[in-house]
Amino acid sequence: MTFAKVEKLPVNYKTAEDFERFAAQGNAELSMLDEFRLSLIESDDDTLFYGIYMDNELAARMALTFVNEQRDNTFYPPKGYVEISKLEVLPAYQGNKLGSSLVAFVQSFAKPVRTKARVNSEAFWTKLHFKDSQKQENNLSIMTWQPTK
């Protein structure tokens, strides 16, 4: 399977415009516009935002958090993991495996992955070998993936 190229998104005004377009066209629950604007104000050079461009437009994006130590009881024994936040593909680009490409990029780090299944996305995560942890946060199911040894 061929995956689309995932890029680390620069924290600049061009990317802010891309996130504004996402806020206008995407799902309001998945908007990361406020988080991105805060990152822009704080001049954080170590962005956690990643995306895929198609037709010179940001078509898919997500935020990642690299957790070095266990701060909850998601994984046992406790270990560091990557958390995927608010992964979204714009409606015009859905069906092109961009979401799968973003997840494959994260899985390539060979670390456990945690995410919250938003907007009825459990089937998407299950298709990508995530398991329901049987835990919830803010009424959202916590889905996890473990690398094979």
pLDDT of 1-33, one tens digit each? 557 899 998 888 888 888 888 888 877 776 776
Neighbouring C-beta atoms of residue 4, cutoff 10 Å: 21
In tens, the pLDDT along 98-114 reads 999 999 999 999 999 99
Sketch out the chain's domains with CATH numbers: 7-145 (3.40.630.30)
Neighbouring C-beta atoms of residue 1, cutoff 10 Å: 6
- What's the pLDDT at 90? 92
Residue whose tokens read 């398991």 = 131
- What's the pLDDT at 73? 73
Side chain identity at residue 32, one-letter code: M
Neighbouring C-beta atoms of residue 102, cutoff 10 Å: 25
As beta bridge partners, residue 61 has 51, 88
